[in-house]
A and B are shown apart, each in its own frame.
Chain A
Amino acid sequence: MRAEAQEFYKGTYLENTGRYKGIWAWLTSTDHKRIGLMYLYAIATFFIVGVIMGLLMRIELISPGKTIVEPQAYNGLFTVHGIIMIFMVVIPGLSATFGNFFLPIMIGARDVSFPRLNLFSFYLFLFGSFLAILSQFMRHGPPDTGWTFYAPYSTTTGTNVIMATTAAFILGFSSILTGLNFIVTVHRLRAPGMRFFRMPLFPWAIYATAWIQLLATPVVGITLLMIIAERLFRIGFFDPALGGDPVLYQHLFWIYSHPAVYIMILPAMGVITEIIPTFCQRKVYGYKAIALSSVAIAAVGYLVWGHHMYTSGMSGKSLWLFSFLTFVVAVPSAIKVFNWLATMYKGSIDMKPPFLFALFFIFLFTIGGLTGLVLGALATNVHVHDTSFVVAHFHYIIFGGMGFAMFAAIHYWFPKIYGRMYNLKQATVASIIMFVGFNLLYFPQFIIGIEGMPRRYYDYFPQFQPAQVISTIGGFVLAAGLALMFYNLIRSARKGEKAPANPWNGTTLEWQIPSPPPLENFDEIPHINERPYSFK
């Protein structure tokens, strides 16, 4: 950080000041805002690739038997769709983009604690993503293990598993370093007077997430290395033919990958908690409860991984415990939903696009959460586990939850980031199309899942076809909504009307500085003497 005495640069972060011009000025920038935006552009690109793969699968599934691709190609599609969406889109999705951009501003800092490390994380992310995409095109064909890389299939199949797991390993490292950076930033760089319980709730969520990133990601890193070692040196961690244990892999994998679900969803909850008070012009209801429930989720969320493995043949006691804890961890999420609703009570509600997205989030996330209870209970899990019920459930949580929160965040902070406003009407229309398409796409999967349609199936019996057709139609409706949203945003970033500094009348710090923000965010670091969200 620069010394306070130095003169404050008045230009915005979008103007180039350093040695380089054009794209180089971006690629070498250590400014947290630019890094956040670079993440955003990269992630949006990967997202589009993932969506296209999803649509290809939907076309394949529109009728039984072969429609457009062979089984092996289909298996590659769902694997790579999963790898891209999970490791390259959803996990870094909110924290690396809006966390980077707004965490420092919202706590009154000029940057993160380690700006160069931040840029390094970005390059690790790009490199990992590059490898993941490359694994598609190399000699032995795309990995075909599913994004979970379950052993011993993953240690024996002939496809490019090594490259894909290396990619996931590197992406994990990027995530660890980002988490570390944010933890230190929150501890060291809060503005004077900003105690922990005066921090806005998005930074709280990012902070809780960062701890999970830092503590859980190394486990999956090691697990993926074990897969590689087993493939290269026949070491025998997981393959019983070599003396290993396949269930061990599942434990190790989910010890990370369950908390990873919270890496995805906590920042999303944080965004929603920012948006609702602003558009209701009301102090958030239950500030402390929301902040602490993030921490509770992060903590208990570590201990529930076994609920992915109820049918693996675990001992009765561990089944009992995992199911019990799974139900306990549902409570903090419920608390948040009630707090959001209570915040709307007697507010003065302005139905602008970010708020609409937030409402859709609550609706979809609630469905995702409630169907999660069916999966958490042992008796019902046995029936719906590994069926398309699970597919529907986690898309409701991850896409309906994290995805819609991401769209909400873009529409909320867009005028701050670019100093311009998008077309509100188009944004509203796009959000409604997406909402309708989303439900058409995923809801039928619940029903055929209950009827016994297993997941990761290239082919199916005709009785499942009507639902599959509705899903495919929904997929294209959703894609049309996405296209309209992207069109509106891209056009408006360059040509939109000029936006005022605080178009939504928000109270957190990012709305108190000009739009787009100045290079160093704050002319003078503010002094904080009350809780956020105090609307007058």
Chain B
Amino acid sequence: MNYGIHYGASNFVEKIDYTFYFILGIDIFFFILITILMIYFVVRYNKKRHQKAVQVQERTWLEVLWITIPLILVLAMFYVGWKNYIPLRRPPKDALEVKVIGRMWDWQFVYPDGKVATTLYVPLNKPVKLNLYSPDVLHGFFIPAFRIKEDVVPGKNNYTWFTATQLGEYDIYCSAYCGMRHAYMYSKVKVVPTEEFNSILANLKVASSTDGEAVLRNNGCFSCHSMDGTRLVGPSFKGLWGAKKTVITPDGKKETIVVDEKYLEESIIDPNAKVEEGFMPNVMRSYKGIIKDEEIKAIIEYFKNSDGEAKKE
């Protein structure tokens, strides 16, 4: 359900739309005024009808008038825009806090008890504060139906909030350009009644540091790497363990390596040290300090145990 502009989906819609119509009304008035005057003058004072121009003198009152009226109007627009913006920066104290992880190129939502989801579930009519976190580059958290947007800036604790006022599913886009698959950095917010929210929350899993697959999923590795052999931005993880690969070192030399523990660890901590042939360097960021040692171990275990078809080649 992602059609059109949506009215009434969050507590901000009314105020922001009001500001929009307020400005648009003044805009349309001036636009029509200017266009009509322009057409009228062009027709009325066309050379054919009006052979000799009249050198009209400037009138001070006229100039004062068209300086003051626009000035008053723009200040009014400023004021309305500011006044209706303030609530966006004032989340209520009792809001449900959710950590939003925006990274190349997916979204993840972490609830207070550590439960993780890739769709943002929220209860109806309860304020929700989103703490925006990015481990890599800039992203933008944007829900058009709610009229909210805030940049997800690495190293900065940005936030946004809303109260959903209508049941339903709405789009979440990434609005700040973030690289190759920026347009696919998409998720949904699902607004559900409180009881349903509680049961959904109860069924969500806590982020695990011992289950390798969960670590991969929770860190967004699958937006660039597949498990089934499909080539995405990065090489597929299918049959990774023990595979022979041709890699390129930063000084441009080719090397052949066998995927082992050391290589995997290096690929996560310092991905540019050895870049698999045919893939771009500098796309994968270093996960040093983001993925803990025990989690890397879990990932390696996971690769060891997942099916090894490619090993035979």
**Residues of chain A having any CB pair with chain B under 8 Å:** 71-72, 75, 140-141, 144-146, 150, 152-153, 156-158, 239-241, 244-247, 280-283, 285-286, 289, 311-313, 316, 319-320, 323-324, 326-328, 330-331, 334-335, 337-338, 341-342, 344-351, 359, 362-363, 366-367, 370-371, 373-374, 376-383, 385-387, 450-452, 454-461, 463, 535
Contacts and interface: CB of A to CB of B under 8 A. Distances in A.
A82 to B, nearest CB: 11
A246 B156 contact: yes
Contacts of A380: 16, 19-20, 23, 81
B91 interface: no
A379 B15 contact: yes
Contacts, number: 262
Contacts of B63: 286, 289, 335
Contacts of B81: 323, 376-381
Interface of B: 2-5, 15-16, 19-20, 23-24, 26-27, 30-31, 34-35, 37-38, 41-42, 45-47, 50-56, 58, 62-63, 66-67, 70-71, 74-75, 77-78, 80-86, 88-89, 136-138, 140, 142, 144-145, 147-151, 153-158, 171, 173-184, 280-283, 285-286
B173 A454 contact: yes
Nearest to A310: B85
Kindly name the residue among B54, B89, B183, B281 whose own CB sees the greatest number of chain A CB atoms within 10 A: B183
Contacts of B178: 153
Given A363-B35, A454-B142, A370 B27 contact: yes
A463 B41 contact: no
A307 to B, nearest CB: 11
Identify the 6 closest CB pairs spanning chains A and B, nearest first.
A377-B81, A240-B155, A452-B144, A158-B282, A378-B85, A379-B84
A285 B56 contact: yes
A377 B148 CA distance: 14
Nearest to B176: A386
Contact of B53 (A150, A245, A282, A381): A282
A334 B55 contact: no
B113 to A, nearest CB: 27
Contacts of B176: 150, 386
B78 A313 contact: no
30 contacts: A71-B181, A145-B177, A146-B177, A150-B138, A246-B138, A281-B53, A282-B54, A311-B140, A313-B158, A319-B85, A328-B74, A331-B71, A331-B74, A335-B70, A342-B62, A346-B56, A362-B34, A363-B38, A366-B34, A366-B35, A370-B30, A371-B27, A373-B74, A373-B77, A376-B77, A378-B81, A380-B20, A382-B149, A386-B142, A454-B142
Contacts of A324: 78, 82
Residue in A150, A245, A382, A456 with the greatest tally of chain B CB atoms within 10 Å: A382
A362 B180 contact: no
A432 B137 CA distance: 44
Q: Name the residue in B30, B81, B136, B158 with the highest tally of chain A Cβ atoms < 10 Å from its Cβ.
A: B81
A230 to B, nearest CB: 13
Contact of B147 (A71, A241, A362, A383): A383
Contact of B42 (A153, A351, A460): A351
A327 B73 CA distance: 9
Contacts of B83: 379
Contact of A382 (B4, B77, B147): B147
Contact of B78 (A247, A351, A359, A377): A377
User: How would you classify the secondary structure of chain A's contact residues: helix, strand, loop or mixed?
Assistant: helix
Could you tell me the dominant secondary structure of chain B's interface residues?
A: mixed
Contacts of B51: 348
Contacts of A145: 177
Given A331-B74, A459-B183, A374 B20 contact: yes
A387 B53 contact: no
B137 A344 contact: no
A289 to B, nearest CB: 6
Contacts of A331: 67, 70-71, 74
Contact of A386 (B15, B140, B181): B140
Given A370-B31, A373-B77, A457-B182, A347 B156 contact: no
A345 B53 CA distance: 9
B173 A373 contact: no
A463 B3 CA distance: 6
Given A347-B45, A373-B27, A385-B175, A245 B158 contact: no
B181 A348 contact: no
Contacts of B35: 363, 366
Given A334-B70, A373-B26, A385-B175, 14 more contacts: A156-B137, A157-B179, A319-B85, A338-B66, A344-B41, A348-B45, A370-B27, A380-B19, A382-B150, A383-B20, A452-B171, A452-B173, A457-B182, A461-B171
Given A247-B156, A373-B27, A454-B175, A311 B70 contact: no
A382 B180 contact: no
Contacts of A283: 55
A418 B55 CA distance: 32
A382 B82 contact: no
Contacts of A363: 34-35, 38
Contacts of A330: 70, 74
Contacts of A463: 2-4
B280 A158 contact: yes
A530 B178 CA distance: 57
Nearest to B2: A461
B144 A451 contact: yes
A452 B47 contact: no
Contacts of B5: 450-452
A382 B88 contact: yes
Given A334-B66, A346-B45, A347-B45, A458 B85 contact: no
B41 A323 contact: no
Nearest to A366: B34
A280 B53 CA distance: 7
B179 A153 contact: yes
A351 B282 CA distance: 57
User: Which of A313, A362, A456, A460 has most B Cβ within 10 Å?
Assistant: A313
